[in-house]
Structure 1
Amino acid sequence: MSVTTATSSPTRTLAIDASGLAKSYGDKVVLDGVDLSIPEGTVFSLLGPNGAGKTTTVQILSTLIPADRGTARIAGHDLADDADAIRDVIGVTGQFAAVDGLLNAEENLRLMADLNHLSRAEGRRRADELLARFDLTEAARKPVVTFSGGMRRKLDLAMTLVGNPRVIFLDEPTTGLDPRSRRTMWEMIRGLVDDQGVTIFLTTQYLEEADELADSIAVLDGGRLVAHGTAEELKQRIPGGHIRLQFDSAAQLQGAFHLFPAAGRDDEALTLQIPSDGSIATLRAVLDVLDGNRVQARSLTVHTPDLDDVFLTLTAGAGSVPTPDVPKENDR
């Protein structure tokens, strides 16, 4: 399956263009012909159960391991022939914060500046800028070992940005964070795209995170892409959506049931549950039938499948939404 994000167009430059990526470890096939076309300035999210190949995909595209076959271009550079150029324009943030706990925040950032071959003055300026952006200025001289999980993740992302990458791979970046810290990270990630035009390749097992951030989502299972689209497009593919009508009396319920005989009926709650694809056209059709027959409902709610439903339906044998604490080695 080939994946092109929903925001792409024939004239929009691709940040990531991959074809036929494959990887095996012995007899274990981890990736089996993955195609990706991700435009600049978008957030792309790759979902899948543990062992699906998400981390392997990131490792290949970020030049950490070679693919067995397939081709890819990152920011216009060929993965096989120009890996050094790719490393100059990408950043990678893994599941666990790659910061030195014995150094303070400023020292961590200046170390990263040295690794990016920035001058001392430029490294100091860049460190100060990132400390301010991530609200870490007051903690700049404190040992990182004293930081909370959220502060460590913010510093980790700041370190990724020292070299001004145009493509950033975020491999489960909010694992272990509390809800407030997670939302702070979401705001920072979205700001990188909206304000600076950075392209984000996000893997996550928090399905709410993909729903919140991603312009386009792909589902990887057993090394193959099994679905792609926007969050709303994926939800509409899954059965279970419905319109719920509640009435004031049994007579009104009975009258509505005659109009929608395929609906589920709850006499005690005085409700009908009408199957729906979640579209405006379907909702309008239901309202037109009610109005045309002078049937009035007390309330109407539209229920659509969420990404949890999408995940469980599309991933074979997933069983349940995986937890984020499984070691990353399982993803190879």
Structure 2
Amino acid sequence: MRILMAGASGFLGTRLVDLLTADGHEVTRLVRRPPRTADERQWNPSAAQLDPAVVAAADAVVNLAGAGVGDRRWNDEYKRIIRSSRVDTTTTLAITIAGLPAADRPQVMLNSSAVGWYGDTGDRAVEEDAPAGEGFLADVCRVWEAATRPAEDADVRVVRMRIGLPLHRDGGMLKPQLLPMRLGISGKLGGGRQWWPWISMEDWLRAALFLLDSDDVAGPVNMVGPAPVTNAEFTRELARQLHRPAFMPIPALALKVVLGGFAVEALSSSRVLPSVLTKAGFTYRHPDLRSALHAALEE
């Protein structure tokens, strides 16, 4: 399969490119700078500039582009970057796809979204048919997903991947917790009662390949593990596997000082279930947190 990918240099993208190429797929990467290798093509999503011929050459489009939500302290400027980095890329790809003759359009578009769509769900479990919640990330996800509409209206299969917390020691929500945990100066965030929708990196990658090949799956798909846990449970299991104590809770006020607006999202609860993946027949290699964390720490 010929796959065109945006966000190929990110935390998830680099690993997905490696897996796809190892499986024999041909991956072309979209970059904003001048291309340096034969598998790169330049685009400028901020100006909606993308050569339609680049898209027409692909069987599938995968869009993982977006500034990291936990990479910097949130202020108004960074919140603007979070939003535009997602909406501009998605809009440019979807409109370009829709503008192609039907015979030249890719068969499928896998587009990132996030479990932030649901907002704070408290203890209530939610599946893909739940409406968008409230808050900044929920608003971003609403606009982000809506930006795929031109491709969907052009009869291209569009999958909106509502990604949870992929577990890997080199990135995501796990990496910043490892050093303080190993030093014995970490613990649950706030009250620790908020639900965390984790997924092992291996299962996230396998699910992405599964969705590329599943012709009958479209629309929103929760890319999370089947057994969400609370932050307190997550912290206890991580401490157990690292053989370290976890008795120093991080107060909500301290998080707000360090993280700014992102603290609200870090303390929110997302009890999200992978209904679509499960019904479509996807099987997890790491269906429980213990197995997923063990794999993440061994990778």
* TM-score of the superposed pair, with normalisation by structure 1: 0.27
Report which structure shows greater RCO (CA 8 Å, sep ≥6).
1
The structure where helix makes up a greater share of residues is 2
The structure where strand makes up a greater share of residues is 1
Question: Larger radius of gyration, structure 1 or 2?
Answer: 1
